Amino acid sequence: MAKIYIDKNNFYTNLDIITKLTNDVNKIAIVLKDNAYGHSLDIISELASSYGVMNAVVRDEFEALQIKDKFKSIIILNDFPSKAENNFSYVVNDISMLSKISDKVNIELKVDTGMGRNGISFNQIIEAFEIINARELKLIGVMSHYFNADVDSKDFDIQKKQFDKIKKIVKNLYSSKLRFHIANSAGTIRGFSDDLARVGIAAYGAIEIAKNLCPYDFKPVLSLEANIISTRTIDKGDIVGYGASFKSKEHCVVSNYDFGYADGFRRSLSNDFTAKSGEKLVGRISMDNSSFLGKSKVISIFDDVREVSGKCETISYEILTALNCKIKREVK
């Protein structure tokens, strides 16, 4: 099968930049959801922990349990607790959850500041704290999420002001010390001033943000290579792949490689992609393999996912998280 390489030095270079932005490595919360954006939960959690990152963010309890011994604090974005772990905190995405959740687990209250997705509304804050105080729930944080910080718009400033307003209200409603956090990667780059920076795509060096907003050189962490399966010489008029979408115009050598759409290779790239190492893709991408001109034993599909996402008219997140978890990941 194809192989994915994780560049440790590039990852640490990105964390160096983020540490300067937060002024404290203890304020970094590395986002590890969905197999660390396709990079490998095991590998990235180990690298981040070794760097000194003490906080992590995951999608669910299943992911959290795999890394529970590596971080001081793990935020679980979308799950209902089945057990109480001292370093787990569960995000409350809807006010109804406050009446159902155990008073033995840590919670983080999410407030919607304009994204219109998860979180209680601004008008529900007082009601939420009435429930929290009455039930003596273990609230440790209040959070929100920037929805448009990667583009040059007024939304960022509007949300930031809204969250600052929320912080003042909350401090009057709750006597214990809380942590506040709203910043994602783009928000951290544009101006960090809270207790945690939930950083994912910047740490992986695949952030896509308006150039005037980001003067920093984040390095791509993930690269992908494919291995040869077979080679053949074809003549003018011969076809390659399903649907006869490629018909050779000349005598040439074509090789098949172990990376297909089941591994995350977008089928829309069929007949319209050149590998980073220079080989031209021919024919339709198959489920488990794809064909390129040439006979190299190993080819580099990409070393910067943003080049692929741009070609596919999508975002780097979608390409990365679609990479088959069975593909071996290796630190280099």
Residues 185 and 201 sit within 8 Å (Cβ to Cβ):
yes
Nearest to 166 by CA among 213, 245, 111: 111
What are the start-end ranges of the H helices in the chain? 8-22, 33-37, 41-51, 61-66, 125-135, 155-173, 185-191, 305-312, 316-321
Catalytically annotated residue among 33, 70, 110, 160:
33
* Residue 33 a catalytic site member: yes
Q: Give me the residues paired with residue 120 across strands.
A: 111
161, 216, 236, 242: the catalytic one is 242
CB atoms within 10 A of CB 165: 12
Reply yes or no on whether 326 is catalytic: no
- Strand 246-247 versus strand 239-240 pairing type: antiparallel
Pull the structure tokens for residue 8: 């440790």
What residues contact residue 23 under an 8 Å CB cut-off, 6+ apart? none
The length of the chain is 332
Give 3-state DSSP helix, strand, coil % of the chain, rounded to 5. 35, 25, 40
Rounded distance between C-alpha atoms, residue 119 and residue 28, angstroms: 22
CA–CA separation, 92 vs 281, rounded Å? 46
Residues marked active site are found at 33, 242
